[in-house]
Structure 1
Amino acid sequence: MRLSQGQLNLLERCPRQFQHTYLDGIASPTSLEQQERLSSGSRFHLLMQQRELGLPIDAIVKENEQLQGWMNAFTEAATEILTPAPDGEFRESEHCRTLQVEKYLLTVIYDLFIARSDTCQILDWKTYPKPQDRRKLAQNWQTLLYQYVLAETSEYLPEQISMTYWFVQSDDKPQNLTFNYSNTQHQQIEKKLKQLLLQLTNWLKRYEIGEQFPQVVEGSKTCNYCQFISRCERRSTKRSDRNFEADLSEQEYSTNTLPLLANIQEVIIL
């Protein structure tokens, strides 16, 4: 079974939703707003890939005012990243790596990978505003898995690895968050990953004999944003006050939007 960071996020957040989505094959409907966000993100990723390959992008940018604004602002804010070093640097857009862990094939795709003799950097483009809580992004499986797989599949030490997210849709100008890696983190992630995969193995065995994956606890906010709330016989606990609106926005960015946008270029095969 091939697993991406988006699937690990979903499995950890709600095993039953993972089952319905990837094992039962139940389609997940998306709103027009979600479709537009995904489409915009996909276009920007494609634009950045073509730019890195040296292909012309002027015609594409001129046809889309939003893309043109994002690209102009990003080019100005990230000059050092977008300008290749003269020598001793390997760069690749949509760089793919896989790591076999027991019967699972972990797959990562870096929007841009830059490797030098003593350091390497993973870069990821996000077309939504910079999140307020850095800790949630630090614990997201995209951050964890991307750095872990690189350390396991290269000769770089964990301390030589970093990952930077660029958020092009920010108020004033594109902003970024960088996460430096370490051997301590690597060991912690390995333990956490193996525990999650062991749980998945056990749930799959039970699923084969007719048992369903576990659900989140009754009353969890996760159910409020899940398309399977009726199928799971759960009731929404949504509130109509401002606090709920803040919770909804945070949930969309930290659990739904982030994995979806990160998976734009990934095709998951079970």
Structure 2
Amino acid sequence: MKILNSKFYYSQSSLRAYERCPKMFKYLYIDGISGITKPEIQEKIELGIDFHTLAERYFIGMEDYFYVKDTKLLNWMKILKEHFSKNLKYKSEFEIKQDKDGIFMMAKYDLLVEEGDKIRIIDFKTNEKEYNLNLLEDNMQTKVYMFLLGENIK
């Protein structure tokens, strides 16, 4: 059995796994056992990863995705460009790690948008699930992202 090392950083996904099912948390994060992903699910995961990569490249000024043939990806990039002009300050794929009182936490933000003295957190969702905005306030990801940002960005 693996034991969490002293530098295990809890993320929103690990905390959500524990919240849903402590045994699943143990399998994933202590024992290092992961399940088998169905091919159709893996394909969607890879599409999401590709989009995140293209979005990150867009925000650092590398719009070289001429090689992309997937119409869904191209459409997502078109929408992204329409919503996010180059006039603002962005931090793409920004990571915060914190050690406070021996508790290690981390978050990786898809995008932080600096607008004057405010920071907007953008989390790209590439699945087809509809989200209830009222439920998002109580979501583990929202709580962890807001907490770590508030603690570390002044």
The TM-score bracket by the shorter chain reads 0.7 to 0.9
Q: Contact 2:9–2:97 at 8 Å: present in 1 too?
A: no
Q: Residue 98 in 1 paired to residue 119 in 2?
A: no
Structure 1 length-normalised TM: 0.51
2:60 alignment partner, one of 41, 53, 66: 53
> In terms of Rg, which structure is larger?
1
**Letter aligned with residue 55 of structure 2:** M
What are the equivalent positions in structure 2 for 1:80-159 lying under 5 Å apart? 82-85=84-87, 90-129=89-128, 131-155=130-154
What are the equivalent positions in structure 2 for 1:180-219 lying under 5 Å apart? none
**Letter aligned with residue 115 of structure 1:** E
Aligned residues, how many? 147
Structure 2 length-normalised TM: 0.85
2-structure distance, mates of 1:65, 1:108: 30
Report the alpha carbon displacement of residue 52 of structure 1 after superposing the two structures with TM: 0.8
Report the alpha carbon displacement of residue 119 of structure 1 after superposing the two structures with TM: 0.9
1-structure distance, mates of 2:30, 2:65: 42
**Letter aligned with residue 126 of structure 1:** K
Identity %: 30
Report the alpha carbon displacement of residue 130 of structure 1 after superposing the two structures with TM: 5.2
What are the equivalent positions in structure 2 for 1:27-46 lying under 5 Å apart? 27-46=34-53
Larger deviation, residues 7-16 vs 122-131: 122-131
1:19 is aligned to 26
Q: Contact 2:113–2:120 at 8 Å: present in 1 too?
A: yes
- Which 4+ residue blocks in structure 1 deviate beyond 4 angstroms? none
What runs of 5+ residues in structure 2 fail to find an aligned partner? 1-7
What runs of 5+ residues in structure 1 fail to find an aligned partner? 156-270
Return closer, same or farther for 1:132/1:113 CA change in 2, 3 Å cut-off: closer
Report the alpha carbon displacement of residue 136 of structure 1 after superposing the two structures with TM: 3.0
1:227-259 CA-partner distances (Å, limit 9, x unpaired): xxxxxxxxxxxxxxxxxxxxxxxxxxxxxxxxx
Q: Contact 2:54–2:65 at 8 Å: present in 1 too?
A: no
